[in-house]
Structures are given as structure tokens and as C-alpha cells.
Structure 1
Amino acid sequence: MSPRTSLLLLLGTALAAGCGAAPSTSGVPLALDVMIDRAVLDELGAFQVVVLPDGQSRRCGELQRTCLNQHVKPDEALVLEDSNGKEARALRFPAGLDRDGAQELAVDIPVGRDYVVIIEALSRTNPPRFLGSSCNYLETVSSTRNDPLIAAPISLVAVECDPTFAP
């Protein structure tokens, strides 16, 4: 298995979807801050994280229109690992926002270059519904320290699709 590094995801809510801040150069582990529209907060059940190679060749606008699984084959996604050692091409994390609207998630991703990080907001229903997504270009993941990645806001769309990503 290739060397991996931790990607710390910080998820936050706001009254309306806002703009992500510019990337910082502080040299801390990768961090991600996502804005969620308060209107869907009661429906929010989980976040699904997927990382794709060849990031610059991908169009975020297209990837965000519907469930990611409608745009890419499962084997295109990188294998990720959560803090409990679970490996998958799409990791799901239950929504557990604190009172300030933040949530921290840890994801190990392979060291490399030119990735796109997709975070899908999923409903509580079974099967889950797609509530929207955030698409973020990630130039480099190093085996040492990484600059934080501040995520684009989650784009809310009215699309009926099951975001379940095959293993």
C-alpha cells in the first residue's frame, strides 16, 4: 500500500451556503470547512467523502449536478481510510455537527498530486437522498505536513438519486 496522510475534514453550517475561504499556507494537516444551507440541516444524515485522481481534468460543475456515482466508475476513486482503519472508495460519516455547526472528520488519503475531493451531503432516509455536494481541487498531498484545504460550499440541488457508492 502506498504512503498515506491524514486529511482532517472540518464541516460547518451557516444560515445559507456561503463561499469557502482561500487556502491557507500555515503548514497544518489538511482541513476542510464546508458550509451547509440551514434549510436542509434537519434532513442531513451523513457526509460521503470521495477522492478522485486527475483532478484538473475533471469539471466540478458537472460532478456536483447529481450523485457522484452517476459520473464516475467506482474503481476511479482512490481507496481512503478512516480513523478506525476502515478502507473504502467512499467513506461515510454520520452528521454530528456541534452547537457551533462544526464537525471534524479524519481521512487518510494516498500521497500524490492532482486530486479532486468530493463531499456529498446525504439525507437520513433509507436509501439516502443526495442533498448536494462540494467539489474541491487538491494539488498535492505530502507524507509530511499539508496546507489546509478550505472546501467550496455545498451546492444544493433538487435531484432524486441514491448516492450509494459501490465498494
Structure 2
Amino acid sequence: MIERIIVTGEQDHRHYLLHEELAHSWEKFSVDLNGKISGIVNRHILEFKLNFQRGNKEIEIIGKRQFDSHYSSPLDKHFAINTSSKIEVHKIKSQNEKWEIKKKDKFDLISRLFQTTKPLLYDKHYSISSSVQLNERWIMPLELFEYLKNEVEIRTIAFKDEVFKIEYDNLLDTNKTLEILDVILKKYSA
């Protein structure tokens, strides 16, 4: 279960009520999947980790939604909110042992010196890295990439040590997470 860490008087605050609603939906999702969920929820943060089995694959989902006071003005009614989701699927077999697709950043040039890094063929805002030359159309077909980044921006898609990982810059809802899992498992199940 997600632990409620509430300061007196916060249980009626709109931010806590929203986090509580999200926490409840993820706890229900965990029960439906016979999973194990842990984390914390209060007015400022919802953070959880969910583990469950899907077929012969081990799935781990980590989600976070946090109000960030560093980037919020006390005079402003709006708060900066940091959100993220990470989905890991364990025991995936692949011919390519290690690769990563990520948003381009200032470190791409440096990483090109140590491994094979190049712009992703069908989206120049992302780069693909590997220690060996890859057939990117095989590891990440255009249709799959477009589907995975349809709703929100992808931070990273990676494969290493039989673990497929995808990170988003948003907290996904349970329905979208299940859809994404089905697509990933269809492509990478063996």
C-alpha cells in the first residue's frame, strides 16, 4: 500500500485530494494485477513503485508527481509540478544486448566519442546509442516509436541486461500504462 504521510489539516487540501485520488487508482490497479505497491502520498508528493507479473515477465512501474517550490513563486497560484513515469519489463530477450534512445542533449557529442551515437532515423530530436552498430528499424520500428511517444514526450527508451525500460516526462494513468505494456510485450516477447 501507499503510505499516507499527512500533516494535520492537509487532508482537505486540493493538492492532497488529487494525490490521494491518483494513489487510490494505482492501488486498485495493483490489486487488479495481483501486484505489490509501495510509496508515499501527501500534499506535496505522490511517489510509488509497483511490481507484478505479466505472463513470464516481471514488470516494475515507478511513478512520481511532486510540487516543486523552487520554481514556484509564493505570489503565484500555480505551482511547478514535476512528474515522471518509468516502466521496466524484465526478462526480455533481444539480439542486441544494449541500446538507448533518448532526447538529444548537450552530452550527445561527448557520448559519440565513446560509443556509437547518432540521430534517430525518424525523429531528429532523439538520438540512439549503442556500443555496436544497430538496425534501429528492427529494435524500434517507426510505428512503435510513434505510439510510445503519442501522448507525452519520452525521456528514454533503453534495453540492457534483459530489461526494457521506458521513461516519460509525465505520470501516466493506469489505462495508458496497460496499453503501453501490451504493445511492448507484443513486440519484445519471445
TM-score (norm 2): 0.26
Higher helix share: 2
Ranked by relative contact order (alpha carbons within 8 Å, sequence separation 6 or more), the top structure is 1
Q: Which has the larger radius of gyration?
A: 2
TM-score (norm 1): 0.28
